[in-house]
Chain A
Amino acid sequence: EAQVTQNPRYLITVTGKKLTVTCSQNMNHEYMSWYRQDPGLGLRQIYYSMNVEVTDKGDVPEGYKVSRKEKRNFPLILESPSPNQTSLYFCASSLFLAGGLETQYFGPGTRLLVL
């Protein structure tokens, strides 16, 4: 079954404690992306990757890091989480075509609370 998986689904942590949210897709997609969703603000892109070892900043990259060592995995790293990073996070993947992106498939989401 084609899917995007994220772990963990729920996480409560404290300020400053490094954490990683994993994302994996089994559709051989080149393009992967991380979004955060906050009430009234919709989905805002944090980072995206157009292929292995190719990553770029989205609209709200501050406080986050990513890596793309393998095509299927795109982990999101919070080196020193702060309460303003409390949010719902989605990973997504897509085929990348010359004219633009194909359908984006979203993971189930990771709800993060930073105390």
Chain B
Amino acid sequence: GQQVMQIPQYQHVQEGEDFTTYCNSSTTLSNIQWYKQRPGGHPVFLIQLVKSGEVKKQKRLTFQFGEAKKNSSLHITATQTTDVGTYFCAGGYILTGGGNKLTFGTGTQLKVEL
């Protein structure tokens, strides 16, 4: 079955440092989504990438989708305490018969120290 690996599992940074999390799929993806989950909360959608090599930015967050559509990254510039949480990628796969399946990575837990 499809697998999505995400690294690192944990990242501890000082406020102002940059942060990156990486996702890698065992098979080609149709799209990839990124979510953020605050401690005690539920996952909240951040963005979806669909095209090969796509790059999207949201303020200090930069999302990339690899040329082969098998990997993706999320980069946060100059982290702030509000960035604390767990970041998940979710790879979308088109199933035989037209269905769509979303497989989540294991997440990267980000902690930001003052």
Contacts and interface: CB of A to CB of B under 8 A. Distances in A.
Interface of A: 31, 33, 35, 40-45, 48, 50, 56, 58-59, 90, 92, 96, 98-109
A100 B100 contact: yes
Nearest to A58: B101
Given A44-B104, A99-B50, A59 B1 contact: yes
Contacts of B106: 40-42
A45 B99 contact: no
A50 B99 contact: yes
B77 interface: no
A56 B31 contact: no
B103 A103 contact: no
8 contacts: A42-B105, A59-B1, A59-B103, A92-B43, A96-B100, A99-B50, A100-B30, A104-B90
A44 B4 CA distance: 11
Given A40-B9, A42-B88, A43-B88, A101 B102 contact: yes
Main secondary structure of the interface of B (DSSP, over half): strand
B101 to A, nearest CB: 8
A77 B62 CA distance: 39
A104 B30 contact: no
